[in-house]
Structure 1
């Protein structure tokens, strides 16, 4: 991966720490205009961690059930990359926040 040396150095520290603790990597937000390598960086992170990457897009996740289906497919430690996450509906965002913060989903 070329460029963003400071970011790469910090991510490498985070990745190594997660591996040493035998835990999932803390949440990471990659942002910037198209074409800067956010998707590539997500693949690099998953590869460095030795886990799978599930890639999706915000507009594809129309309702909370769509997100729940994606989350249920993940194995412990897997990386979930949501491109255009800013386009998630508010109701889906709320489910995602709960899953990220509490590691569970309220189903009503």
Structure 2
């Protein structure tokens, strides 16, 4: 039935959001693992801060006659190719408890 599929999608989304909030904001935030410059999808941060900082740096370098080098790294396909057992081991060693793993 199509209603069951829609309901499954909702529950999966709710579970994913719960895991996201618990991992990111509770666990990683309490340990200081998220740097301040990584501000997307975090409460109290805006995604337009980084482009503003980049523009200010560009304007400052131009006004003072300095070269400014910028590197952009596309990580859109980084996670599918990541070695997941190594990632889980690293998270476990950082103190992520069994509640997240189970």
Taking structure 2 as the reference length, the TM-score comes to 0.28
Structure with higher RCO (Cα < 8 A, 6+ apart): 1
The structure in which a higher percent of residues are strand is 1
The structure in which a higher percent of residues are helix is 2
Larger radius of gyration: 2
